[in-house]
């Protein structure tokens, strides 16, 4: 009976069972476990262009793109060649290379608010280091983040709002000391009045405000221009460092990131995902006087064995070169808009309350009447219907993010045929979830 059961199980199922014996929850990052949508996670074997294939040989149109990095599609020939060339010269040296200068120059050129930049290996390291730097530079401890924004899993960022306005934060994870969480204040995204109120009382003791200027970790939610303008103004007036976390939006919503779209100059910027082209690379950078506080020049310590890893830098540089070509982002935006317009029309035809938004190569799908403007509004969307839609699409070979609180990603490898196939599948999926 055991053998029979074994045989009737899909490879994904048996891999998931095996994974759970040696890996907590069977995954190395929680959202991969399908906890919120239910069902068996797909174990991926290979990817190419807009597709990946799972352990049962099923092909999926990939709308997570490794959660952002794969903006030119999987195994792009130019990126692949750059990685292969780099690999044959050695994997890691722990000493500087010319390619690190090249990528730093490229980042400073593409994102003009960045006068100097340091490479790290993950977005978490980038935000954690940027915060330490802001605290070192200002000599202040308090920081501000916004509800629904995710900035990686450093202690001071795994914090939710306390009860009532302008109170101290509470940990959202066990293991974060309350003393650490208390130094973080969590405010509402797009709430200008609350922001002003906070700065009037605590602005002068606040080291930094960190924000996703286009949020992609509570589904896709845009900051309003007014909100970001006021934030910039208040940070300048109070000597508070404004950190734009563009780990997701950087190079994706526009070549110069969200800051280029809004015309706002942050003091520091965090980058990740696209700058590694699918290899582990991220960065933080900004004002020269602030960056000069970093070791070995200044008193703020920050380091990394694999920082500026040559293979990751090669993948990142090749990716940045491709997306810097004229028209890349216009074309990417057009593709994403085609997808989103098709999905909205398909939902309307099926009579399902649905809205969608996109900026550059990033999109949000909401089972709601309107596009949300805050975390609270996102929580009011029809999550069970999203989950049903997700599984219908998955069964039909389309892999959307396995959570109603995540954004989606289109690459330059998603051509019209792929986008239209997605919409055709969605027609059936919306109808099936309509009742």
Copy the structure tokens of residue 126: 């980038």
DSSP-derived 3-state class of residue 251: coil
Where does residue 299 rank: exposed (0-12), middle (13-18), buried (19+ CB within 10 A)? exposed
Task: Say how many residues make up the chain.
Answer: 435
The site string for ligand PMP over 280-319 (x = CB under 6 A, - otherwise) reads --x-------------------------------------
> Nearer Cβ to ligand PMP, position 247 or 426?
247
> Nearer Cβ to ligand PMP, position 8 or 29?
29
* Strands of the 362-366 sheet, one edge to the other: 355-359, 362-366, 408-409
Does 269 help bind ligand PMP (rule: CB under 6 A)? no
- Residue 56 C-beta: closest distance to ligand PMP, Å: 27
Task: List the one residue out of 199, 202, 155, 161 whose CA is nearest residue 179.
Answer: 155
Whether the CB-CB separation of 165 and 197 falls below 8 Å is answered with yes
Interface residue with ligand PMP among 65, 69, 148, 272 (CB under 6 A) is: 272
Place of tokens 């352990």: 55
Question: Is 245 noted as a catalytic residue in this protein?
Answer: yes
> Nearer Cβ to ligand PMP, position 32 or 196?
32
Does 124 help bind ligand PMP (rule: CB under 6 A)? yes
DSSP-derived 3-state class of residue 46: strand
> Nearer Cβ to ligand PMP, position 283 or 413?
283
* Rounded CA separation 181/277 (Å): 33
Question: Is 150 noted as a catalytic residue in this protein?
Answer: yes
Residues in CB range of 395: below 8 A, 6 or more apart: none
DSSP-derived 3-state class of residue 118: strand
Does 248 help bind ligand PMP (rule: CB under 6 A)? yes
Binding to ligand PMP (CB under 6 A) within 28-67 occurs at: 67
> Nearer Cβ to ligand PMP, position 34 or 150?
150
Does 152 help bind ligand PMP (rule: CB under 6 A)? yes
Question: With CB under 6 A, what is the number of residues at the site for ligand PMP?
Answer: 16
Window contacting ligand PMP (CB under 6 A); options: 40-48, 87-95, 162-170, 245-253? 245-253
* Rounded CA separation 299/133 (Å): 9
Does 120 help bind ligand PMP (rule: CB under 6 A)? no
> Nearer Cβ to ligand PMP, position 212 or 357?
212
Q: Measure Cα distances from 187 to 82, 169, 211, 302, 386 in Å.
A: 43, 10, 10, 28, 27
Question: Is 357 noted as a catalytic residue in this protein?
Answer: no
Does 151 help bind ligand PMP (rule: CB under 6 A)? yes
Window contacting ligand PMP (CB under 6 A); options: 146-154, 165-173, 316-324, 326-334? 146-154
DSSP string of 348-404, one letter each residue: HHHT---EEEEETTEEEEESSSS--SSHHHHHTS-HHHHHHHHHHHHHTTEE--SST
Binding to ligand PMP (CB under 6 A) within 205-224 occurs at: 212, 216-217
Q: Which position among 51, 150, 189, 399 bears the catalytic label?
A: 150
Q: Which position among 189, 273, 392, 399 bears the catalytic label?
A: 273
Interface residue with ligand PMP among 12, 86, 113, 122 (CB under 6 A) is: 122
Active site residues: 150, 245, 273
Interface residues with ligand PMP (CB under 6 A) are 67, 122-124, 127, 150-152, 212, 216-217, 245, 247-248, 272, 282
């Amino acid at each position: 009976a055991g053998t029979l059961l074994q045989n009737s199980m899909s490879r994904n199922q048996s891999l998931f069972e095996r994974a759970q014996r040696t890996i907590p929850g069977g995954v190395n990052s929680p959202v991969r476990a399908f906890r919120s949508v239910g069902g068996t996670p797909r174990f991926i074997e290979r990817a190419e262009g807009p597709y990946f294939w799972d352990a049962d040989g099923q092909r999926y149109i990939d709308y997570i793109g490794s959660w952002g990095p794969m903006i030119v599609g999987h195994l792009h020939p130019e990126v692949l060649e750059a990685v292969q060339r780099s690999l044959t010269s050695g994997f890691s040296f722990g000493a500087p290379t010319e390619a690190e200068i090249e990528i730093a120059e490229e980042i400073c050129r593409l994102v003009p608010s960045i006068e100097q930049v340091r490479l790290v290996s993950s977005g978490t390291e980038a935000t954690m280091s940027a915060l330490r730097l802001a605290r070192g530079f200002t000599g202040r401890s308090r920081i501000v983040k916004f509800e629904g924004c995710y900035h990686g899993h450093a202690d001071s960022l795994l914090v939710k709002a306390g009860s009532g306005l302008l109170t101290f934060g509470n940990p959202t994870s066990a293991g974060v000391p309350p003393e650490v969480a208390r130094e973080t204040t969590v405010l509402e995204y797009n709430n200008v009045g609350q922001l002003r109120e906070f700065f009037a009382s605590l602005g002068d003791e606040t080291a930094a405000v960190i924000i996703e200027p286009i949020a992609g970790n509570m589904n896709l939610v845009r900051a309003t221009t007014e909100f970001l303008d006021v934030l910039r103004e208040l940070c300048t007036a109070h000597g508070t460092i404004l950190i734009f976390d563009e780990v997701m939006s950087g190079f994706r919503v526009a070549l110069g990131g969200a800051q280029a779209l809004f015309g706002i100059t942050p003091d520091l910027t965090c980058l990740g995902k696209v700058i590694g082209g699918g290899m582990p690379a991220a960065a933080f950078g900004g004002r020269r006087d602030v960056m000069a506080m970093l070791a070995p020049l200044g008193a703020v310590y920050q380091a990394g064995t694999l920082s500026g890893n040559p293979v990751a830098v090669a993948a990142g540089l090749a990716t940045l070169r491709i997306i810097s070509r004229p028209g890349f982002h216009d074309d990417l935006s057009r593709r994403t808009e085609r997808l989103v317009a098709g999905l909205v029309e398909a939902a309307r035809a099926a009579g399902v309350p649905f809205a969608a938004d996109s900026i550059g190569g990033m999109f949000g799908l909401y089972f709601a009447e309107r596009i949300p403007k805050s975390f609270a509004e996102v929580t009011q969307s029809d999550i069970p219907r999203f989950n049903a839609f997700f599984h219908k699409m998955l069964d039909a070979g389309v892999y959307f993010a396995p959570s109603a609180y995540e954004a989606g990603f289109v690459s330059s490898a998603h051509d019209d045929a792929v986008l239209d196939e997605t919409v055709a599948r969605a027609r059936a999926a919306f109808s099936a979830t309509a009742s």
